[in-house]
Amino acid sequence: MVHHVTLIPGDGIGPEVVHAAQLVAEATGVPLEWEVVEAGEAAIRASGTPLPLAVLESVRKTGVALKGPITTPIGSGFRSVNVALRTELDLYASVRPARAIAGEGTRYPETDLIVVREATEGLYSGVEHWVDKEHSAAETVNVITRKASDRIVKFAFELARREHRKKVTGVHKANIMKTTGALFQTAFREMAAQYPDIASDERLIDNMCMQLVKKPSEYDVIVTTNLMGDILSDLCAGLAGGLGVAPGALFGEKTALFEPVHGSAPKYAGKDQADPVAEILSLELMLRHLGEKEAADRVWRAVWEVISEKRVVTYDLALPGYTQRPVSPSSCSAMAKEIARKVPLVDVTSPLPRPSARGTSGGSDSLLETG
Ligand code: NAD
């Protein structure tokens, strides 16, 4: 069956890493028909708006999108296209697995976490204003609703159950934010009681950051609100090997969008130096969502092999300091070609490789299958 997929190349390093993912997709042999639409800076140049209606229409039609990062002007300019896409398409569940790959590029080879983040409200609701004409004070409204909190916490527990995960940790700041924080906390506690088969605990966001850096293997699935989830997922990406290897997915009731955790990395744009793995592993998650498990497993194995061989890796995985065996960095396109070359060759009879905490037999084989 041909899968129709919306493809949003994005800004900065976006087109390079998206092209890399397309190359790997082709190597899987899965029939994918890409519907390419522009959002972000390319869309502004072409049509004067960063998020043309055609983008939303395409994702609503195909139900699935693979996306590159999109630049958001800092401090002024247009509203984030990423935030607008999530709210317009009600992509409420941001799922960001942080899996250390072959122990490379990380001080924590055991890292195997999933951050589940509410993606439509909180401090990203866009409700903000200057208090006075002099711009000496400003307010941003933190919108937290019971409906969205219940929905995201339920999503996290269901995901934990499907993935055979042992624990869900609810993260908030209910000691200080006595309305919004407490509302999320109550939603978490009441939902946790409905999943007696899955352990649950709570952490205040500040303590959570410290705990994660000290002992990431104590945690499993983390669920939290929008801004806290954004920050925690970059932290977890850092534990697992960096933004270059951190994929992501966004789920709504009818649509799913797959994109790396990282942004458009302007300093690497057009230089063919960015790590393509985060986008390639976002493709892997997309293939699982489409029911193409065998192809997804092949992509995961190929990425794992290329990173563990450490012959053809980009600068972030070749850095001295992080690795015992520094190598000279390869280009984004060379690493993508190497992963694509491996896809049909990998040994599919051996157990799927996993971060060391889980071993090869622990955990589930599904990793975010949703179908
Ligand atoms: P960034 O993720 O682009 O970069 C942070 C650091 O990680 C930089 O040092 C960068 O060079 C490095 N990096 C990122 N991706 C990499 C890769 N694939 N390989 C190797 N190194 C990589 O974050 P930023 O600099 O804070 O943001 C740049 C722009 O991206 C901003 O406009 C921001 O709004 C946007 N952004 C978009 C998304 C998205 O589209 N989902 C997410 C985050 C940031």
For residue 64, the cross-strand partners are 256
Q: Is 133 a catalytic residue?
A: no
Q: Give whole-number Cα distances, 236 to 86, 163, 216, 269, 322, in Å.
A: 21, 18, 8, 24, 16
> Using the 8-state DSSP alphabet, how is residue 185 labeled?
H
Identify which of 243, 271, 335 to mutate to test ligand 1's pocket (most ligand atoms within 8 A of the CB): 243
Query: 260 C-alpha vs ligand 1 centroid, how far in Å?
Result: 9
Rounded (10°) CA dihedral 59, 145, 149, 240:
70
Which residue is associated with the tokens 């247009």? 78
Enter the tokens of residue 48. Answer: 């004067």
Helix (H) or strand (E) holding 200: strand 199-204
DSSP line for 88-109: HTT--EEEEEEE--TTTT-S-T
Q: Cα of 261 to ligand 1 centre, how many Å?
A: 8
Q: Which atom of ligand 1 is nearest to the CA of 71?
A: 32
> The dihedral of CA 109, 114, 120, 124: what is its sign?
negative
- pLDDT for 371 equals 43
Does the beta carbon of 267 lie inside 6 Å of ligand 1?
yes
Query: What is residue 366's predicted lDDT score, i.e. its pLDDT?
Result: 58
Residue among 152, 264, 221 nearest 364 (CA): 221
The span from the CA of 328 to the CA of 330, in Å, is 7
Mean pLDDT by 10 residues, the chain (371 residues): 96 97 98 96 89 95 97 76 91 96 89 96 91 96 97 98 96 96 98 97 98 95 97 96 97 97 96 98 97 97 95 90 75 98 95 72 50 43
State whether the beta carbon of 282 lies less than 6 angstroms from ligand 1.
no
Catalytic residue list contains 272: no
**How far apart, in whole angstroms, are the C-alpha atoms of residue 98 and residue 246?**
6
Judge contact between 356 and 40, C-beta under 8 A.
Answer: no
Set out the domains of the chain in order of their start, with CATH numbers.
3-106+241-369 (3.40.718.10), 141-226 (3.40.50.2300)
Sign of CA dihedral 285, 326, 12, 114: positive
Let me know how long the chain is: 371
What is the token pair recorded at 323? Answer: 């690795």
For residue 13, the CA-to-ligand 1 centroid distance in Å is 9
pLDDT at 360: 43
